[in-house]
Amino acid sequence: MINFRDFEISDLDRIAEIMESSLIDPLSKSYLEKIQDSESFIVAIEKEKVVGYIIGKTKNNLGKIISLAVQKDFRKKGVGTKLLISLTKRFKRSGVKKIFLRTRTWNKKAVDFYKNLGFKIVKEIKNYYKNGDDAFLMEKMDD
C-alpha cells in the first residue's frame, strides 16, 4: 500500500535517485535542501521506501508544479495521479485559483498525463530548456 507524507531531509538521496533515472535535467540536491521547508513537497512511500514525489509552490493565487516523478516500476499504478491530486488539494486550501507547469513538447506521456487530469496547453515556449528543447506551458483552473 502506498502512503503519502511531506518530504523529510532523510528522503533526499532517494529523491535524487528517482530524479536521475526519470528526468533529463534533475534538480540539484542543494536546491532540494533549500526548498524543503518553503514549498509543497510530497513523497509517495511504499514499505518505508520513497517511490515518487511532487514539488510545488504557490505565489498569490497561482500554484506551480516544479517537478513530479515516479520510480519506473511504480508507474501506471496511479501514484503520479495521487501525488498530483494531493498537491492540488493543498494548493486549493492555500487559495490557489490556477495551477501551471511546463513540460517538454516531445514528452507525449507527460502531456497526456496532465491532459487527463484537466490541464490544457496554453502556449509553446521555444528553447525553454538548457538543451534547447521547447516546452508547453500547461494550466488548469480551479474547479
CATH number at residue 55: 3.40.630.30
The parent domain of residue 82 ranges over 2-141
pLDDT band for position 143 (50/70/90)? low
The total of other beta-carbon atoms located within 10 Å of residue 55's CB is: 24
* Helix or strand holding residue 102 (H, E): strand 98-104
Mean pLDDT throughout 77-99?
93
Torsion sign (Cα): 67, 16, 74, 46: negative
pTM over 0.85: yes
Total tally of structural domains belonging to the chain? 1
User: 106: which 3 cell numbers?
Assistant: 516531445
Give the burial class of 82: count Cβ atoms within 10 A of its Cβ; 0-12 exposed, 13-18 middle, 19 or more buried: middle
